[in-house]
Structure 1
């Protein structure tokens, strides 16, 4: 559980600090990756799985969701 907490904190810090010079699409993708990595880490801890695998998969899914959300917003404009 301690390892998962560290991963969540690091992912959150990177997600918040890395958004300063990015465009809107990249910000959404980075935020999605940070949220997805945190959710993946916590989820695998709760289910007894591999924390690293959950973090990587969650980050990848979060990045994809961030990209799709940006594209949907652009299509509405």
Structure 2
């Protein structure tokens, strides 16, 4: 049985049903002002490597976004 390990995730090539799932932590903070909104969003905060499908593609790295919206 072929096995691929990335950090704490193990994927068995012969049987995708035996996948051990790793947790990925995302967060979003938003502050509303009178006509504006500021948002800080972070995805994959701990920068875990994980497999997203049966072809062995690795999920995206840590991403952080800061946005300012003006509401009309």
Alignment TM-score > 0.5, same fold: no
Larger Rg: 2
The structure richer in helix per residue is 1
- Structure of higher RCO (CA pairs closer than 8 Å, 6+ residues apart): 1
The TM-score normalised by the length of structure 1 is 0.31
